[in-house]
């Protein structure tokens, strides 16, 4: 390609980029056929869509969120969630498939789609047509503080095609379900809170009773070791210490006294010699007392051999009576028998209370054996070997010292037992005092558990009272509530489609597409159509312009093109009208679209 052929092409492109308004008008005049064809087609499609699609009517109800009548500082409600959260929860309940299916069946909704859609698809379509929208009030609490937007109301809307009355009826039913469900939820929440707190209070009371019983059992098992009894235990220990000291002192005094008495006893004779009595023959005779003791000893000896009615025994009895005495054997075998009987009784009583290893029992057994031996000696003696002792009288001083020694011995034994008891009690009290810290720690733990249980009871009791007040607040309709302030109305105009807007947009789209197609045709055409373009390309003004003179065949060609445009436009309009007829009478475009989407889902799956 040479420079002469390139220059006109570059000049032509420059001219094409520098078109004036007249050039654009000439272009539209030349390309009026494609422009009008595209314009007619787009307008036809727009008209078919605007007047073919169903009208969607929206009915809306406004529900006011009213605060509780009594200030929250006085009575708090058990419902603490925000209003928008409760609205979402309630909407999920009332928009369940079961609830919406009942509404669909009740009002025969979407009857045109029953044959093409399943029940779940219809319910899903209805669920998507229900809209809840919050209305908030902007409240500024103070300078530098964040803005708070509390919910003051919300709207419930329902969109339904071609039937505004049905849209209003269904909206009213949805609002009624919403308000009823709100009351049910609030009542269930308040009653559930009260029931839970009531059962929790009983459980805590049972737990406190169990801890109280455990504390009582602990006090019973650790009596004397409890913290509040420590002072008493110390006083008891001090008193026992004083008693032991006093008993020890008394024992010491008695033992010292016994030492002195035994020393005195060693210097005192047991008997006092009777005066030497003689008869007329100068023989030594006994005194009446000595004779009586000899007779009694003889009586005991014979009693072991003969019966009490034996003449020898009767004779001795008569002689004793003549001496002014009786059969009282004190001081000899009789006194030994009496002492033996008393000791046997005491020994039996001690064996019932103490073990056989007890020192007192051993002492009494030795004493019994000694008395039995003494009685045997008296019984075996038929001679008068003891008679010389009977010729002597007992020394009163000796008897007094002996008696005092016996009394002291008994007192010493009693004090020894008492001292042992004191020491046993003292050991027990000391053991209690040693265990008192451990007992106090465990007791304090039980006390803390009991106090914690009481605190929980008081806390739950306060919450239970608050829940009861909240329940009364709900029952009296004084709590926060939803109030229908604007019931749903029959919509006067359709929400969608917006026919005026769609017509305007369709016309603008038709003109724009017509221009675009015209410019597309113009860009592929390299012809020169007027003298201005020729002058700009060649740089020389043409001498004259010969207008185009069409032939008869060209005129016929233009007519054929016009007829073709009309022929293409009419079928498009007929197709649009047919689609509209099919949509309303045979199958809905929504069903076709749903089938198409379902088909795409199957392909993607």
Distance of CA 403 to the CA centre of its chain: 81
- Give the rounded percent of residues in the chain with a pLDDT score beyond 90: 9
More confident residue, 438 or 153: 153
pLDDT at 61 over 90: yes
The mean pLDDT of 459-483, rounded to a whole number, is 83
The residue among 125 and 281 whose pLDDT is bigger is 125
Model confidence at 284, pLDDT cuts 50, 70, 90, reads low
**Which pLDDT value is given to residue 52?**
62
pLDDT of residue 503: 79
Among 13-22, 449-458, 564-573, which range has the highest average pLDDT? 449-458
Q: How far is CA 382 from the centre of its chain?
A: 100
pLDDT digits (tens, 9 = 90+) for 543-559: 776 766 667 787 787 77
588 to 52, 54, 239, 370, 498: CA distances (angstroms): 11, 10, 110, 135, 20
User: Has residue 12 got a pLDDT over 60?
Assistant: no
Cβ partners under 8 Å of residue 212, min gap 6: 450
Question: What interhelical angle do 32-52 and 21-30 show, nearest 10?
Answer: 80
pLDDT category at 158 given cuts 50, 70, 90 is: very high
Give the DSSP H or E segment for 271.
Answer: strand 271-273
* pLDDT value of position 38: 84
Give phi and psi for 486, each to the nearest 5.
Answer: -130, 100
H/E run at residue 109: none
**Alpha-carbon gap, residue 299 to 313, rounded angstroms:** 6
Check residue 60 and give left, alpha or beta (phi > 0: left; psi -120 to 50: alpha). Answer: beta
CB 59 within 8 A of CB 489: yes
pLDDT score for 134: 86
Ordered DSSP codes for 121-174: HHHHHHHHTEEEEEEE--EE-STTS-EE--EEEEEEEEEEES-HHHHHHHHHHH
Q: What is the pLDDT of residue 495?
A: 76
- Residue 151 pLDDT more than 80? no
Are 243 and 422 contacting, i.e. CB atoms less than 8 angstroms apart? Answer: yes
Chain segment 286-296, per-residue pLDDT in tens? 555 566 666 76
Question: Which pLDDT tens digit goes with each residue over 172-192?
Answer: 999 999 999 988 888 888 888
Residue 173: per-residue pLDDT: 93
Q: Is the pLDDT of residue 281 over 60?
A: no
pLDDT surpassing 90 at residue 302: no
For residue 517, pLDDT beyond 70? yes
* Mean pLDDT, range 126-136, rounded to an integer: 87
SS3 272: strand
Among 23-37, 256-270, 276-290, 587-601, where is mean pLDDT lowest?
276-290
Tell me: the pLDDT tens digits for 372-429? Answer: 655 554 544 433 344 444 445 567 777 888 888 888 888 888 888 988 888 888 787 7
Average pLDDT over residues 105-124: 84
- 144 pLDDT more than 50: no
Helix/strand/coil for 269? coil
Full-model pTM: 0.50
What is the chain's mean pLDDT, rounded? 75
Write down the domain spans for the chain.
Answer: 3-51+510-604, 56-192+476-486
Which of these, 478, 477, 474, 462, lies nearest to 78 by C-alpha position?
474
Exposed/middle/buried for residue 550 (C-beta within 10 Å: 0-12, 13-18, 19+): exposed
Highest mean pLDDT range out of 29-33, 110-114, 488-492?
488-492
Find, among 221, 193, 277, 282, the residue nearest to 466 by Cα: 193
64 membership: H or E segment, kind and range: strand 56-66
Q: Which CATH class is domain 56-192+476-486?
A: alpha beta
Indicate if the pLDDT at residue 504 is higher than 80: yes
Residue 346's pLDDT is: 72
Distance CA 564, CA 548 (A): 24
d(CA 242, CA 422): 10
Write the DSSP assignment of 274-286 as a string of letters.
PP-EE-TTS-EE-
Which distant-in-sequence residues (6+ apart) come within 8 Å of 402 by Cβ?
265
Q: Which residues fall within 8 angstroms of residue 272, CB to CB, at 6 or more apart?
A: 392, 393, 394, 395
Q: What pLDDT does residue 308 have?
A: 64
Which pLDDT score, from 0 to 100, does residue 348 have?
66
Instruction: Please give the pLDDT value at position 145.
Output: 45
Residue 431, CB-side half-sphere exposure with 13 Å CA sphere: 8
Higher pLDDT, 538 or 371: 538
Are 348 and 310 contacting, i.e. CB atoms less than 8 angstroms apart?
A: no
Pick 531 or 363 by higher pLDDT: 363
pLDDT of 602 strictly over 60: no
pLDDT number for residue 11 = 46
Cα end-to-end span (Å), the chain: 57
**Mean pLDDT lowest for which of 18-27, 209-218, 566-575, 592-601?**
592-601
Query: How far is the C-alpha of 89 from the C-alpha of 421, rounded, in Å?
Result: 80
**β 139-140/147-148 pair status:** antiparallel
Phi, psi of 277 (to 5 degrees): -105, 135
Rounded mean pLDDT of 519-541? 72
Q: How many residues does the chain have?
A: 605
Report the distance separating Cα 346 and Cα 363, nearest Å. 11
């Amino acid at each position: 390609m040479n420079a002469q052929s390139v220059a006109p092409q570059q000049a032509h492109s420059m001219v094409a980029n520098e078109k004036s308004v007249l050039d654009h008008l000439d272009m539209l005049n030349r390309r009026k056929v494609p422009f009008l064809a595209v314009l007619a087609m787009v307008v036809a499609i727009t008209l078919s869509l605007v007047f073919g699609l169903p009208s969607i009517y929206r009915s809306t109800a406004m529900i006011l969120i009213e605060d509780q009548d009594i200030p929250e500082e006085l009575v708090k409600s058990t419902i603490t969630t925000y209003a928008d959260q409760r609205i979402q929860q309630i909407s999920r309940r009332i928009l369940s498939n079961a609830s919406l299916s009942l509404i669909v069946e009740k009002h025969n909704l979407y009857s045109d789609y029953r044959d093409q859609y399943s029940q779940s698809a219809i319910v899903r379509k209805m669920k998507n047509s229900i809209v809840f929208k919050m209305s908030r009030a902007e409240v500024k609490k103070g300078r530098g503080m964040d803005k708070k937007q509390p919910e003051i109301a919300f709207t419930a809307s329902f969109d339904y095609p071609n039937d505004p009355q049905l849209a209003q009826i269904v909206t009213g039913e949805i609002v009624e379900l919403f308000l009823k469900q709100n009351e049910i939820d609030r009542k269930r929440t308040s009653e559930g809170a009260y029931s839970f707190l009531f059962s929790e209070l009983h459980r805590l009371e049972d737990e406190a009773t169990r801890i109280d019983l455990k504390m009582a059992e602990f006090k019973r098992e650790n009596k004397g070791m409890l913290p509040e009894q420590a002072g008493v235990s110390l006083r008891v220990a001090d008193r026992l210490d004083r008693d032991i000291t006093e008993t020890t002192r008394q024992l010491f005094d008695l033992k010292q006294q016994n030492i002195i008495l035994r020393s005195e006893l060693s210097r005192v004779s047991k008997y006092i010699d009777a005066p030497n009595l003689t008869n007329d023959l100068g023989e030594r005779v006994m005194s009446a007392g000595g004779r009586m003791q000899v007779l009694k000893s003889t009586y005991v000896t014979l009693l072991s051999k003969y019966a009490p009615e034996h003449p020898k025994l009767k004779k001795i009895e008569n002689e004793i009576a003549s001496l002014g005495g009786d059969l009282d054997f004190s001081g000899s075998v009789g006194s030994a028998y009496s002492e033996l009987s008393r000791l046997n009784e005491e020994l039996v009583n001690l064996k019932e209370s103490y073990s056989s290893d007890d020192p007192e029992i051993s002492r009494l057994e030795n004493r019994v054996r000694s008395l039995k031996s003494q009685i045997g000696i008296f019984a075996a003696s038929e001679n008068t070997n003891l008679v010389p002792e009977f010729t002597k009288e007992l020394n009163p001083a000796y008897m007094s010292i002996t008696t005092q020694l016996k009394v002291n011995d008994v007192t010493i034994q009693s004090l020894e037992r008492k001292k042992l008891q004191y020491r046993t009690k003292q050991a027990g009290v000391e053991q209690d005092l040693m265990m008192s810290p451990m007992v106090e720690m465990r007791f304090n733990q039980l006390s803390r558990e009991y106090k914690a249980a009481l605190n929980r009871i008081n806390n739950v009791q306060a919450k239970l009272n608050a829940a009861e007040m909240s329940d009364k607040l709900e029952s009296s309709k004084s709590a926060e509530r939803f109030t229908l302030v604007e019931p749903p109305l029959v919509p006067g105009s359709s929400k969608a489609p917006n026919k005026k807007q769609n017509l305007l947009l369709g016309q603008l789209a038709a003109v724009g597409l017509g221009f675009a197609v015209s410019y597309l045709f113009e860009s592929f055409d390299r012809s020169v159509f007027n003298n201005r373009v020729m002058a700009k390309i060649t740089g020389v003004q043409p001498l004259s312009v010969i207008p185009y003179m069409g032939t008869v065949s060209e005129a016929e060609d233009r007519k054929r093109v016009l007829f073709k445009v009309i022929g293409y436009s009419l079928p498009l309009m007929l197709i649009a009208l047919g689609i509209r007829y099919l949509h309303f009478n045979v199958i809905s475009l929504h069903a076709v679209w749903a089938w198409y989407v379902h088909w795409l889902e199957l392909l993607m799956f």
